[in-house]
Structure 1
Amino acid sequence: MSFQGLVWACLAATVVAHGGHEAVPEGESISKDPIDATLWVHMILMGLAFGIIFPIGMVLGIVRSRWHVPVQTVGTVIGVLAYFLGHAHKGRQFDKNVHASVANWFMLGLVAQVALGVYLKLHLEKGGQARIRWIFVLAHSILGKIMPVVSWTQMVFGGIAAMGFCRDDHLGQCLAHFIMGSAFIGYGICLTILLLVGQYWLRKTGRSQEFFDSFIIAAWGCVNTFTEHRWGGPWVHNDLQHTTMGIVWWAAGLLGMWLSRSRTGQPKRNLIPAIVIMLTGYAMSAHTQELMISTMVHAIFGYTLMGAGLARVIEISFILKDKPALSEPNSFQYVTPFLLYASGFLFMGATEEQMVMLNNAGIMHVSYVLILYSVAFIVFLFVNVLLHIYAVHAWPNSDSTDQDGPKYTSINRNGNANGNANGHARSTSQQIQDAEAYELHGLVSDDEEDLPMGPRRNSDEELGK
């Protein structure tokens, strides 16, 4: 059984219907009825709650903002309302699908997250609860941080279910497009995080960014090498192309990991991940399809990927000149992550069934590509807004930057100057220590709100010892 078949078998095993299937014709996945207003409201409210409100609340929780609880409360109310609307709609009916079966578990996770938040807000410390409080704090933090990823997956399932896509022979390519497209978007988000707020963490690891990029590329290549072909069956041209691409990925990934350190063991930049991105883009741009619109969309996807790889080469070689990006980001450095967002949406929007639907509607590839680029711009904006919210709380009043990062000139909560006595910025090690402290702020109870913003003396973990 191929990897795609195994994934589908696992998903199908969890499918539980929630009624309303009698209107679905035999052999079809959806009825011929249009989507009614109730279902549209369900989709809009779910997107608002889990796509916008909860991510903002997550960041506010990390920076210990007083707005964390109100924002998450609003999101919870909207999400619960949207959940019940999803079971009350008329119009289009659906056959058994993954979105419906996952929905109950998804909402159960939301209930667990809310229950943990309420428990922590009550500050119950009798009967030994103070010693185990850190377990609930950690669970609440982890659930909150994985919620955006789970929400994205459920929204993708929802879109697939609404259109009746990804069934029977379309399953394999559907999995490839949505998984790989989401991976490119996730890669772009990671690059954005490292670019704007993650450089101190990166320096602390003692490794260059290309080491982590190459490690992921190598791991992904190993998976592709052994899962793109249905072993025991005949080889087709798509199998061969995808398998060889997997081989290129793990071979290049191993090389990139080796080149990410100098002879003395210091982190070193290299261009291997950028070259892999360009090669992948080249392969996809020449990936012929049955429909002309599909061929053109795949070509634009490939060109976008090649552009992302080329931008990365220019960034490392000519903008940064092989140095780590620890200063205020250059405007050109935003090009690579944005093009990865765009390439991800292009690939997710290029499945066989989507292309047939657009072709039948007479929509040209130019209009479709512009729409997908618009979505990429909006998502890129939202990620930058979230990181801005984090940064202005984590490094307030950092009014200037140098090659080592922001200089602190504000007054902390103890009334002491954040800078050194001679007026210079604090050392890089102190800045890294502060960054670590802010990463742990999501694990701090409200009783510690008045403590200095530096490293905590009594963490929740220490309370459990």
Structure 2
Amino acid sequence: MALRGLPTPLPGLAISSLLLARPAIAHDHHGGSEIPEGQTVSVEPLDTTLWIHIFVNMFAYGVIFPIGMITKSRWHVPTQIVGSMLALLGFFLGHAHGGREFVGNNVHGLFAHILQILLIAQVVLGLYLKGHWEKGINGFIRKLIRPCHSIIGKAMPVLSWTQMIFGGITALGFCQGEYTGQCAAHFIMGSAFIAYGILLTIILLVGQVWMRQTGRSQEFYDSAVIAAWGCVNTFTEHHWGTAWVRNDWQHTSMGIIWWCAGLAGIWMSRDRDGNPKRNFIPGLVIAITGWAMSSHPQELMVSEATHKMFGHTLMAAGLTRIIEVAFILGDKQSLTEDGRTWNSFQFLPIFLLYTAGFLFMGATEEQMLLVAGSDMDHVAYILILFSLASLVFLFANMLVHMYDRLANPTSSKEMNGYTGVNGRPMEEGRIRDAEEFELEGLTSDGEADDEGRGMLRRSQEGHRSQIQGVPLR
């Protein structure tokens, strides 16, 4: 049964339009198409070349480029060069494989060319910036190129995620014809839950102080997005002018509760004096959404079990989020003023959002039919989805930690009472890390002269001597 019961974010319109693109011509490998009439792929298996294409591109776009994006040291350029070389290799392998055939102009092939154009543009812009041409007209051009280079770099992980989804559905011949709508809804909203989990991961690990400085509570932003999505869902789930059916009532009413509760959450995000105030509304909306989705009737047993597990996971994410805000944090933005610590319970609702996203992405009708026709039962399938969620959760935490270490070298204050080897404070090593990081920024950009570097070194050496002269506490 097709599910449209979750609001579709506006960025997902691009994905929907690409999924709706109709294939036109066959991609011929053998002088004649072997694709059955009415299908989008042939019955031949994926050959070795295509498997290499899959793994090389997943490693380049899913691992190397995200690491390069957050690396602002001398390793940034080498990392991006390696990623670009692998991406280029994967691109050519995708056009040199045998085995299974795919219809021409498929969504994965179309988006691959867009991705390659952006990659080439990113490399050219990066090389220009690396040249450090700043005199005359180059100074003005550099000011325009730098933000473009930054925006493309930050957008690349999102575009890469989209392309990997397109690759999966193209390889299996999914999401065509009558399945397009429900397929787009599952992948868009599943990805949205994962993206929400990633944002919460970033805020928890490195963004607590920043969130406090915005003058708004986190629930203000969450509730604003919930209200906006609810408005879109309310007026798009029913085809106006046609008869109302049961699913129309469910989906439209879910949109209504989203914008109604979202507006309440916005109002409650301030106290009587206008100060930021946390509240339970976003967690409650997530929990109610999970309850509603777990109640959708399904034709297949494995589909019913997967949807029910998705709903229960989403309910758990919402309830644990309420517990975190109300009882773990006591309505505060963070446990401590410096925002450098957290309670282990705070990771639970985040991890459940990752898991809910993968469960919903893996619950399309065609995927459920594929699992039902195999020897795999619903328990094994759900455990595999949990495993994928764990890997993405791990990788997101690793990236945030790596960024934090590079952008904010270890704090000068002692952490958790640890003073270092033989009772000596760890200040000297920390100051040296900070010095190396700052000097690396100067030497890599080439935007300061030798005198400036010498002044920075002398200043930091003096600061180090002052720190070393302070008695231990």
What TM-score, normalized to structure 2?
A: 0.83
Give the structure 2 partner of residue 165 of structure 1.
174
Q: Within 2, Cα distance between the matches of 1:413 and 1:376?
A: 34
Q: Within 2, Cα distance between the matches of 1:344 and 1:9?
A: 21
Query: Of 331, 334, 341, which residue of structure 1 is paired with 2:354?
Result: 341
CA contact (8 A) 1:43 1:82 kept: yes
Larger radius of gyration: 2
C-alpha displacement at 1:287, in angstroms?
A: 1.2
CA contact (8 A) 1:17 1:101 kept: no
Aligned length: 423
CA contact (8 A) 1:315 1:332 kept: yes
1:66 matched to 2:74? The reply is yes
Q: Within 1, Cα distance between the matches of 2:61 and 2:25?
A: 23
1:25 matched to 2:36? The reply is yes
Give the structure 2 partner of residue 185 of structure 1.
194
SS in 1 for 2:332: coil
Where do 1:301-380 residues align within 5 Å? 301-325=310-334, 326-380=339-393
C-alpha displacement at 1:222, in angstroms?
A: 1.1
Q: Within 2, Cα distance between the matches of 1:5 and 1:331?
A: 36
Q: 1:401 to 1:309 in 2, by over 3 A?
A: farther
Q: Within 1, Cα distance between the matches of 2:26 and 2:294?
A: 42
CA contact (8 A) 2:35 2:102 kept: yes
Q: Within 1, Cα distance between the matches of 2:389 and 2:14?
A: 31
Equivalent residue letter for 1:169: E
Q: Within 2, Cα distance between the matches of 1:381 and 1:7?
A: 26
Q: Within 1, Cα distance between the matches of 2:328 and 2:54?
A: 43
1:208 matched to 2:221? The reply is no
CA contact (8 A) 1:397 1:410 kept: no
Q: Within 2, Cα distance between the matches of 1:8 and 1:323?
A: 39
Give the structure 1 partner of residue 447 of structure 2.
447
Amino-acid identity (%)? 54
- Deviations 1:74-120 (CA, angstroms, capped at 9, x unpaired): 00000000000001111111114111111111100000000001111
C-alpha displacement at 1:241, in angstroms?
A: 1.2
CA contact (8 A) 1:206 1:267 kept: yes
Give the structure 1 partner of residue 419 of structure 2.
none
C-alpha displacement at 1:212, in angstroms?
A: 0.6
Give the structure 1 partner of residue 265 of structure 2.
256
Equivalent residue letter for 2:363: A
SS in 2 for 1:106: helix
Query: Of 20, 45, 54, which residue of structure 1 is paired with 2:65?
Result: 54
C-alpha displacement at 1:296, in angstroms?
A: 0.5
SS in 2 for 1:270: coil
C-alpha displacement at 1:360, in angstroms?
A: 0.7
Point out where structure 1 has 5 or more consecutive residues left out of the alignment: 403-407, 419-436, 454-465
SS in 2 for 1:447: coil
C-alpha displacement at 1:230, in angstroms?
A: 2.5
Give the structure 1 partner of residue 56 of structure 2.
45
C-alpha displacement at 1:410, in angstroms?
A: 4.8
Give the structure 2 partner of residue 432 of structure 1.
none
- 121-130 vs 111-120, which moves further: 121-130
1:292 matched to 2:301? The reply is yes
1:87 matched to 2:91? The reply is no
CA contact (8 A) 1:260 1:267 kept: yes
Q: Within 2, Cα distance between the matches of 1:226 and 1:189?
A: 29
Give the structure 2 partner of residue 279 of structure 1.
288
What TM-score, normalized to structure 1?
A: 0.85
SS in 2 for 1:179: helix
Q: 1:446 to 1:154 in 2, by over 3 A?
A: farther
Q: Within 2, Cα distance between the matches of 1:185 and 1:387?
A: 15
Equivalent residue letter for 2:400: L
Q: 1:260 to 1:369 in 2, by over 3 A?
A: same
